[in-house]
């Protein structure tokens, strides 16, 4: 079937944040099989912070991610398995291991101003025969001209697609449209969009991206993703179907997956809580929510104060160690003021 939009399901990677990286082999196998049977083109699997992300700083995985990748590959005869890699966390070694297990797409993620660190990883992915995506995270933190410059770098390295990534769920629809339009006018490869729902704008932002020409779109079934989750995949499929846009994804099967398989996995319902709302409001990396909540409990302060301060300091993914430092500073300041 010819598709207008190619969806990558990220619940088995981005959703790892929401369940503290506790996926089991059986859960991944069951979800991946259902996604495959529903006709989802790409299924992303790894630690929430990408290959080799399991650590004290980012959160320890219950199961080795390579076991999860292998489990998904064994049940996916229609879908391609994708992995995320953040240079500086994951290395070419892990990428090669994932490819050997059967992963077919590599999504190389960098901060929006640091595309140059992706060169060797994109080259390696191409050498491994993988479809390769450049993933420009925290896209709200750079002027459009800088975003275009970085997208051109990723294209020059060999990326087949370049994504605008709204990691904080901070962007408004017109801001997404501006960024996608600029990329469509400036690069010759596919353009994608990855949104978060912290301001309840993931769907609106995704539709704005599609209107401007984005053809690669991320979604998370039942909103299972960091913060308030991502664009909800089964809802996206329904909306695009009503718009006459082809995805090749079976809507009923996605509904059943969301209700019968994903809902029981969720530790709490994916909704816009005060913490996830603060993430979007302050422009803070969505995976910081649980870390900030734990730090707030440890120091007896409000997690929102931590998140707002992190936003002021323009902290980005990879600086999770700053969360405890900021919490300690806030607690000390409050103690002095008393």
**According to the annotation, is 194 in a ligand binding site?**
yes
**According to the annotation, is 196 in a ligand binding site?**
yes
**According to the annotation, is 337 in a ligand binding site?**
no
> Hey, which residues are catalytic here?
17
**According to the annotation, is 285 in a ligand binding site?**
yes
**According to the annotation, is 13 in a ligand binding site?**
yes
**According to the annotation, is 58 in a ligand binding site?**
no
Look-up: residue for tokens 């082809």?
246
* Residue list, annotated binding site: 13-14, 167, 194, 196, 285
* Residue list, annotated binding site for Mn(2+): 14, 194, 196
* Residue list, annotated binding site for substrate: 13-14, 167, 194, 285
């Amino acid at each position: 079937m010819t598709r207008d939009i190619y969806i990558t399901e990220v619940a088995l990677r981005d959703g790892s944040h929401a369940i503290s990286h506790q996926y089991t082999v059986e859960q991944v196998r069951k979800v991946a099989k259902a996604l495959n049977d529903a006709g989802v083109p790409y299924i992303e699997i790894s630690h929430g912070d990408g290959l080799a992300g399991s650590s004290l700083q980012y959160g320890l995985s219950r199961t080795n991610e390579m076991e999860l990748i292998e489990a998904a590959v064994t049940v996916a005869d229609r879908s391609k398995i994708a992995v995320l890699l953040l240079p500086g966390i994951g290395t070419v070694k892990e990428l090669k291991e994932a490819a050997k297990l059967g992963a077919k797409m590599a999504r190389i993620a960098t901060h929006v101003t640091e595309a140059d660190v992706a060169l060797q990883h994109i080259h390696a992915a191409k050498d491994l025969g993988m479809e390769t995506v450049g993933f420009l995270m925290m896209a709200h933190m750079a002027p459009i001209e800088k975003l275009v410059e970085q997208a051109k770098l990723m294209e020059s390295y060999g990326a087949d697609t370049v994504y605008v990534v709204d990691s904080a769920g901070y962007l408004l629809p017109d801001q997404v449209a501006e960024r996608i339009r600029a990329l469509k006018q400036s690069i010759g490869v596919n353009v994608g969009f990855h949104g978060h729902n912290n301001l309840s704008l993931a769907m609106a932002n995704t539709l704005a991206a599609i209107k401007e020409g984005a053809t690669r779109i991320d979604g998370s079934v039942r909103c299972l993703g960091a913060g308030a989750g991502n664009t909800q995949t089964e809802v996206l499929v329904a909306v695009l179907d009503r718009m006459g846009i082809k995805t090749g994804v079976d809507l009923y099967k996605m509904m059943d997956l969301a209700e019968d398989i994903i809902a029981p996995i969720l530790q709490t319902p994916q909704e816009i809580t005060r913490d996830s709302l603060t993430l979007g409001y302050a422009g803070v990396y969505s995976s910081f929510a649980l870390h900030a909540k734990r730090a707030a409990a440890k120091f007896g302060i409000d997690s929102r104060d931590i998140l707002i301060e992190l936003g002021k300091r323009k902290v980005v993914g990879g600086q999770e160690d700053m969360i405890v430092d900021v919490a300690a500073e806030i607690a000390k300041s409050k103690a002095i003021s008393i």
